[in-house]
Amino acid sequence: MASQDASSSLSPNNYFVVIRRINSNKNTFFQVSLKPYRQVILLIEPSNKSELVSYPIRDIVQEAKKLEKQGIKMIYLNIGDPAPFGFRPPQHILDAAAEALKQNYSGYAPSEGDPELRKTVAEYEKVAPEDVFITAGLSEGIDFLFQALVDPGRNILLPIPTYPLYLTKERISYGTVDFYDCDASFEPDLDSIRKNITKYTRAILVINPNNPTGAVYSRKTLQGILDIAGEHKLPIISDDVYDQMVFDGEMTHMRDICKDVPVVCGNSLSKNYIYPGARVGYLAFHGEGWDKMKDAVQRLCNQRLSVNWEMQRAYIAAIKGSHDHIHKFNAELKIRRDLLVKRVKGIDGLSTAPPRGAFYSFINVEGPWKNDTEFVRGLLKEGVVVVPGSGFAPKMDGKHFRLVFLPKPEQLESAFDRIAEYMKDK
């Protein structure tokens, strides 16, 4: 049966008269109804660019909430936010934010950032203050880099798997989405980097420690990436947002070994200082050749006015103050990491490279599921929320999911009990 509106008009009492023609196999009927004018909604179409935006880490939550309404109690292992799991920012950072408000740091800050914070970051990064730009979390810094670097048809070469924000920014810049591979331990494959650089490549992205895999790259690998970038005269974007969260091995910073290769480092208050809600980060430009880029980033800072000032003052206290919380936090994460590795090894069909930093594991799945989205949706019905690996690696072979190991050990055990039962049933 098909239906079609034949005509409509507005009645004197602010009602629409809707006459609907209904065609059946043999007859035609007309259905007359009244609709209040207020119920007639004009549909506004979004832009084509908006259709390119996705963020699977939060997108999966909508499905989980629907199941929660049906009575399924969820364990959320999808988002890297320490706060829901009982972790708090150090008190001296909170005190600094409160004190800043008392001192009336409530107006617009300089667009490029609080001068004292820029100086503090510059000392930490070993650059000049004018090389530092304060952003609303590193997320805004990533946005600025793509706006300043990527024209349609160009690209920043991304690791696979990669943090989904980089995928979205590449797409809405109308860039070509190109990747380099990593090995079984999620260490970058240098041959793959060489192979995938083209004349349209504007920069190489390095996320170390890595989200979503928890890998911490060796100095040898990082030096190899720098050598390749130098050969091709490309800058490197170094996402260092987890740089203090290393519980196995040593952390090598790109900024310490870059020499004559231009590197822009990004960091924030979010992870190292357990304060993602503060939304303060920075970009720090190392090396020569950045003058035009810094001018572009300055203009991007100007057009959004400023970053919340009291949180910038808190970041000064974070960098200058005690870092005792890092050792405690890393010790807690190592306990959880060890539990995760043990449980994954004990479940047929799961495998992972042990994370050495951050608080994520990128787990491989073998089984009857068509893809990792089907696996994750099935797991939702068992009350465990993880993120499909395809959200981080749209061109990667196999099925994967990313899991956050921030919960208390007993909650992680409960989650893995549910995962084990789910795997066994299949």
Q: Are residues 280 and 376 in the same domain?
A: no
Secondary structure percentages of the chain, helix, strand, coil, to 5:
40, 20, 40
Tens-place pLDDT, residues 223-243: 999 999 999 999 999 999 999
Element (H, E) at 343: helix 324-345
Tens-place pLDDT, residues 85-104: 999 999 999 999 999 999 99
**Spatial contact of 393 and 59, defined as CB atoms under 8 Å apart:** no
Given a cut of 50, whether residue 6 has pLDDT beyond it is no
In a domain, 91, yes or no: no
In a domain, 369, yes or no: yes
Q: How would residue 39 be classed by pLDDT, with cut points 50, 70 and 90? A: low
Query: Of 320, 355, 389, which residue is a domain's last?
Result: 320
pLDDT of residue 9: 46
- The label of the residue with tokens 């008190």 reads 91
pLDDT of residue 62: 87
Tens-place pLDDT, residues 171-216: 999 999 999 999 999 999 999 999 999 999 999 999 999 999 999 9
**Spatial contact of 117 and 269, defined as CB atoms under 8 Å apart:** no
Q: Are residues 214 and 109 in the same domain?
A: yes
Q: Are residues 150 and 292 in the same domain?
A: yes
Interhelix angle 372-380/409-425, nearest 10 degrees: 110
182 CB neighbour count, 10 Å cutoff? 24
CATH code (residue 170): 3.40.640.10
Query: Of 320, 353, 375, which residue is a domain's last?
Result: 320
pTM score, two decimals? 0.88
Q: How would residue 4 be classed by pLDDT, with cut points 50, 70 and 90? A: very low
In a domain, 333, yes or no: yes
Tokens of 371: 């893809």
pLDDT of residue 11: 47
Element (H, E) at 245: none
Closest among 112, 126, 168 to 302, alpha carbons compared: 112
In a domain, 25, yes or no: yes
pLDDT of residue 396: 87
**Which domain covers residue 65, as residue numbers?**
54-85+324-425
Interhelix angle 56-69/372-380, nearest 10 degrees: 30
Query: Of 320, 345, 369, which residue is a domain's last?
Result: 320
Rounded to an integer, the average pLDDT of 278-303 is 97
In a domain, 206, yes or no: yes
Q: Are residues 233 and 346 in the same domain?
A: no
Q: Are residues 235 and 159 in the same domain?
A: yes
Q: Are residues 165 and 312 in the same domain?
A: yes
**Spatial contact of 401 and 372, defined as CB atoms under 8 Å apart:** yes
Tens-place pLDDT, residues 306-339: 999 999 999 999 999 999 999 999 999 999 999 9
In a domain, 98, yes or no: no
3-state secondary structure of 185: coil
Distance CA 266, CA 198 (A): 24
Q: Are residues 310 and 333 in the same domain?
A: no
Mean pLDDT of the chain: 92
**Spatial contact of 168 and 186, defined as CB atoms under 8 Å apart:** no
Distance CA 232, CA 226 (A): 10
In a domain, 46, yes or no: no
- Find out whether the peptide bond into 209 is cis, omega within 30 degrees of 0: yes
Q: Are residues 163 and 213 in the same domain?
A: yes
Q: Are residues 179 and 243 in the same domain?
A: yes
Tens-place pLDDT, residues 118-174: 999 999 999 999 999 999 999 999 999 999 999 999 999 999 999 999 999 999 999
Which 8-state DSSP code applies to residue 221? H
426 or 261, which is more confident?
261
Q: Are residues 374 and 406 in the same domain?
A: yes
Distance CA 220, CA 249 (A): 13
In a domain, 47, yes or no: no
Q: How would residue 108 be classed by pLDDT, with cut points 50, 70 and 90? A: very high
Distance CA 162, CA 167 (A): 8
pLDDT of residue 219: 97
Given a cut of 80, whether residue 25 has pLDDT beyond it is no
Span between the terminal Cα atoms of the chain, in Å: 41
Total domains present in the chain: 3
| Backbone angles phi and psi of 237, in degrees to 5 | -100, 120
Which 8-state DSSP code applies to residue 25? S
Q: Are residues 154 and 283 in the same domain?
A: yes
Q: Are residues 139 and 214 in the same domain?
A: yes
Rounded to an integer, the average pLDDT of 382-395 is 92
169 or 54, which is more confident?
169
- Find out whether the peptide bond into 115 is cis, omega within 30 degrees of 0: no
| DSSP letters for 116-157 | HHHHHHHHHHTS-GGGEEEESHHHHHHHHHHHHH--TT-EEE
